[in-house]
Amino acid sequence: MGSRFLALSGWVLIVAFLVVGLSGETCNAKDDGTKCTSSCGNIHNISYPFRLKHDPKHCGNVMYTLSCENNITLVVDLPPSGKYYVQAINYDNQTIRVVDPGIQKNNCSSMPQNPPFLIAPYSAYNRSGYLLSTPVFYIKCSNPVNSSLYVDTAPCLNINASSLVQQKTYSYVKVGVMEVGDLNEGCSAEWVALVLFNYSKGYNTFYESIHSALMYGFELGVYWPDEIPPICQGQWSSNLKCFPHTIPVH
Ligand SMILES: *[C@@H]1O[C@H](CO)[C@@H](O)[C@H](O)[C@H]1NC(C)=O
Ligand SMILES: *[C@@H]1O[C@H](CO)[C@@H](O)[C@H](O)[C@H]1NC(C)=O
Ligand SMILES: *[C@@H]1O[C@H](CO)[C@@H](O)[C@H](O)[C@H]1NC(C)=O
Ligand SMILES: *[C@@H]1O[C@H](CO)[C@@H](O)[C@H](O)[C@H]1NC(C)=O
Ligand SMILES: *[C@@H]1O[C@H](CO)[C@@H](O)[C@H](O)[C@H]1NC(C)=O
Ligand SMILES: *[C@@H]1O[C@H](CO)[C@@H](O)[C@H](O)[C@H]1NC(C)=O
Ligand SMILES: *[C@@H]1O[C@H](CO)[C@@H](O)[C@H](O)[C@H]1NC(C)=O
Ligand SMILES: *[C@@H]1O[C@H](CO)[C@@H](O)[C@H](O)[C@H]1NC(C)=O
């Protein structure tokens, strides 16, 4: 597992960047694009601005192209994060629910594999700047920790040092935003994933239920084509609307 871990620097974990090089082809005739409806697996209402890869060109908007793998699994590719399985598309509140492909059903040793870095038109935040989903931090400690904030991941995950020196490490998750003092001495945050429940500080549970939540997936906000600030298109931007997004430390 260690090699998949993202090395985190400092306290601030960047979860979501908005916006890099958006395609220039965003000005397709909207009138035509709204008329198509496609289907993939259980998701029957794939319509504007979404489209499937092999849909006619006039359907949807190229920025929102999804693919249908094996005619069953709807997949959204979110570089630089990776591919996610789409579980639901909600047009009313403009969200999609996605699952990390690393998570396997009934195998609590399976881990999310994508770092949740996101770019427009997708965001981990809603339009008021609130996280739509709850972060889950994977933490590795050199000593056992007895804390109400930490959920022991054993026996699902045991991050043993893979060197010849068999140094045992202890693996935990912490649900919710990381605050100063939440990381015990000898512990480091190794990875972050997103889930859809709102556990608050102090909540404790079994890792299996967190794995179930990972299996259910998390929500991403989707900005419609006319909502993406023009300043963000085709370039990095430090404009607040395009480039806010770190998990708050406090
Ligand atoms: C499908 O989505 C469109 C909007 O994109 C909506 O007007 C329509 O009611 C939806 N149909 C179903 C069956 O949900
Ligand atoms: C995909 O599924 C649809 C509906 O079940 C079916 O009509 C179509 O032939 C399938 N396509 C492929 C490539 O399997
Ligand atoms: C969006 O709508 C879906 C379906 O109604 C719902 O399950 C989900 O909680 C909603 N998300 C938000 C952020 O309102
Ligand atoms: C469960 O997931 C782990 C980690 O991805 C993997 O090594 C193991 O082979 C999986 N077990 C089964 C039964 O698929
Ligand atoms: C964003 O989420 C917050 C907290 O759940 C909520 O109060 C707010 O109304 C949401 N804003 C939008 C635009 O959905
Ligand atoms: C952890 O701490 C609680 C309360 O401080 C205590 O009741 C419990 O026995 C401790 N568990 C272990 C394994 O040390
Ligand atoms: C981790 O190390 C402990 C003690 O050295 C060992 O019992 C356990 O099987 C190891 N776990 C894994 C997943 O290698
Ligand atoms: C989710 O958060 C709301 C508002 O903070 C709270 O009322 C509700 O009980 C929470 N739900 C769970 C399952 O923790």
pLDDT digits (tens, 9 = 90+) for 180-214: 888 888 999 989 999 987 665 545 678 988 999 99
For residue 67, the model assigns a pLDDT of: 96
- Sign of the CA dihedral 17, 19, 21, 23? positive
pLDDT (tens digit per residue) in 67-82: 999 999 999 998 888 9
**Protein residue whose Cα sits closest to atom 5 of ligand 7:** 168
- Whole-number Å distance between alpha carbons of 235 and 250: 30
Q: Residue 152 is which amino acid?
A: D
Task: Indicate the pLDDT class of residue 12, thresholds 50, 70 and 90.
Answer: very low
Spacing, Cα 197 to ligand 8 middle (Å): 8
When mean pLDDT is compared over 82-86, 171-175, 224-228, 243-247, the highest value belongs to 82-86
Q: Which atom of ligand 5 is nearest to the CA of 128?
A: 11
pLDDT band at 236 (very low <50, low <70, confident <90, very high): very low
pLDDT at 17: 34
Q: Whose CA is nearest to atom 10 of ligand 8?
A: 198
Residue-level length of the chain:
250
Distance 219 CA to ligand 2 centre (A): 28
pLDDT given at position 166:
60
Which residues sit with their C-beta closer than 6 Å to ligand 8?
A: 197-198
Q: Is the CB of 109 under 6 A from ligand 4?
A: yes
Q: Say whether pLDDT at 217 is over 80.
A: yes
Chain centroid to CA 181 = 25
Q: What pLDDT, on the 0 to 100 scale, is given for residue 160? A: 53
pLDDT of the residue at 18: 31
Give 40 Cα–ligand 1 centroid separation in angstroms. 15
pTM of this structure: 0.77
Summary mean pLDDT of the chain: 77
Least confident piece of the model among 2-11, 33-42, 233-242: 2-11
Q: Is the pLDDT of residue 16 over 60?
A: no
Q: Per residue in 151-176, pLDDT tens?
A: 999 889 865 545 555 677 889 999 88
Q: 122: which strand partners?
A: 222
pLDDT of residue 129: 81
Question: Which pLDDT score, from 0 to 100, does residue 200 have?
Answer: 56
Of 4, 104, 106, 162, the residue with max ligand 4 atoms within 8 A of its CB, to mutate for a pocket test, comes to 104
Nearest C-alpha neighbor of 109 from the set 62, 156, 159: 156
Give the pLDDT mean for 2-13. 35
Higher pLDDT among residues 91 and 33, named by residue: 91
pLDDT band at 90 (very low <50, low <70, confident <90, very high): very high
Q: Which ligand lies nearest to the CA atom of residue 144 in the structure?
A: 6
78 three-state secondary structure: strand
Q: What is the pLDDT of residue 203?
A: 57
